[in-house]
Amino acid sequence: MKILHLLNDVREIGNGIINVAIDLSCLQAKAGHQVAVASAGGEFEVLLAQYGVKHFVLNQARNPVNLIKATRFYREIVREFQPDIVQAHMMTGVVLARLLKPGFNYALISTVHNEFQRSAILMGLADRVIAISNAVAFSMMRRGIPKSKISVVYNGTLGSPRTRNISEYQPLVLSRPAIVTVAGMYHRKGIAELIDAFSKIAANFPGLHLYLVGNGPDRVIFENQAQNTAFSDRIHFVGFQPEPQKYLLSCDIFVLASHQEPFGLVLSEAREAGCAIVATNVDGIPEALDNGKAGILVTPKNSCALANALSNLLNSPEMLHKWQHQAKTNLEWLNVSRVNQETLAVYEEAIANFKETL
């Protein structure tokens, strides 16, 4: 099978969409398929080359002049590579691949990650739509995408070609007890509520520290918020870390306080590291946490509920240990090999349907 993945770029910046596409590309090439990625480029080009994945330069920046160029370059790429499958992971790619599909014999697959974006409806232009959780699938159906067109393939990151075995990472020395989040510095990630929750309980736990791993456009806002608390010296903004596992292995509690979260790849990594997990009961998060069996679910946008959950864990070593154990239970389904096999099954069905229409 000849598979072409379309991405905006392949930068190593902690973007879950990029990470999923890189994992699939490498595993598919390893399995003997001919695989290529078209993007504006980035650090993951090195890893792709190691797996024999060809990289085509395709800049999809959304301005009229560049999109005209992208149209020409995309046609050239498809003529050269002759894919059976084009998988678009982002909106511009699926629109480009659909508009230029006439005359080419490929099935178009889209993967819906950030379904909360208005533009996500455009992912329905593909022949088949992969939703990364049931929550995403239901959302797309509510927007009018036929159920028959949608396949749910849960995200998973364990065993990724991008990372080492968890046992090979050296934990950092953090001030303990330590609460960690790994998330982009965006309002929708609930960073403000996490800082507020920490400030509510910090006086009761003098040794408690909060580590925020990640970058983003709202970081300055959150840094100012932290500075205005009485505990700013115990709130640490450490920026993007290419190996967040070092923080996950060192912390006592991992928090994902998102307002919207289609799945949350980092939850599988936090589970593998054995963190006690507190996360918001929203979108695909419950599915990633085995419907609350692998982590504590709290109401989103509610710093009091988050503070109470954190206090309960910190006040009870037995409860903390229980949730650390629960996180590591039933991890097999979060492996990238399962994601790849289910994705290939979608490809095969799409190709069969495509041939029937010819």
Which pLDDT score, from 0 to 100, does residue 16 have?
92
Is the pLDDT assigned to residue 58 strictly greater than 90? yes
Which pLDDT score, from 0 to 100, does residue 275 have?
97
Secondary structure of residue 286 in the 3-state scheme: helix
Distance CA 326, CA 331 (A): 10
> Which residue has better confidence, 103 or 5?
5
CB-based contacts of 1, cutoff 8 Å, min separation 6? 28, 33, 34, 84, 85, 344, 347, 351
Average of pLDDT values for 84-91? 96
Backbone angles phi, psi at 279, to 5 degrees: -145, 160
Which pLDDT score, from 0 to 100, does residue 319 have?
98
Secondary structure of residue 290 in the 3-state scheme: helix
The pLDDT confidence band at residue 47, using thresholds 50, 70 and 90, is very high
Which pLDDT score, from 0 to 100, does residue 250 have?
96
Average of pLDDT values for 23-45? 98
The pLDDT confidence band at residue 357, using thresholds 50, 70 and 90, is low
Q: Are 177 and 252 in contact (CB under 8 A)?
A: yes
Share of the chain above pLDDT 70, in %: 99
pLDDT tens-place string over residues 316-353 = 999 999 999 999 999 999 999 999 999 999 999 999 88
Buried b (16+ CB within 10 A) or exposed e, 192-225: bbbbbbbbbbbeebeebbbbbbbbbebbeebbeb
Is the pLDDT assigned to residue 358 strictly greater than 70? no
Distance CA 337, CA 89 (A): 18
Within the chain, where are the H helices?
Answer: 16-30, 45-50, 64-81, 91-99, 134-142, 191-201, 219-227, 245-248, 265-272, 285-288, 303-315, 317-327, 336-357
Which pLDDT score, from 0 to 100, does residue 22 have?
98
Which pLDDT score, from 0 to 100, does residue 356 have?
63
Distance CA 89, CA 20 (A): 9
pLDDT tens-place string over residues 274-319 = 999 999 999 999 999 999 999 999 999 999 999 999 999 999 999 9
Q: For strands 276-280 and 107-112, give the pairing.
A: unpaired
Q: Which secondary structure element, helix H or strand E, spans residue 87, and what is its range?
A: strand 85-88
pLDDT tens-place string over residues 224-280 = 999 999 999 999 999 999 999 999 999 999 999 999 999 999 999 999 999 999 999
Is the pLDDT assigned to residue 154 strictly greater than 70? yes
- The domains located in the chain, with CATH, are 2-156+335-357 (3.40.50.2000), 166-334 (3.40.50.2000)
Is the pLDDT assigned to residue 116 strictly greater than 80? yes
CB-based contacts of 60, cutoff 8 Å, min separation 6? 6, 8, 39, 40, 66, 67, 70, 90, 92, 93, 96
Q: Please state, rounded to an integer, the average pLDDT across all residues of the chain.
A: 95
Burial of 273 (0-12, 13-18, 19+ CB in 10 A): buried
Is the pLDDT assigned to residue 114 strictly greater than 90? no
Count the Cβ atoms, other than its own, within 10 Å of residue 303. Answer: 19
Secondary structure of residue 236 in the 3-state scheme: strand
Identify which of 163, 165, 161, 166 has the alpha carbon closest to the alpha carbon of residue 24.
Answer: 161
Assess whether the previous peptide bond of 217 is cis (omega < 30° from 0): no
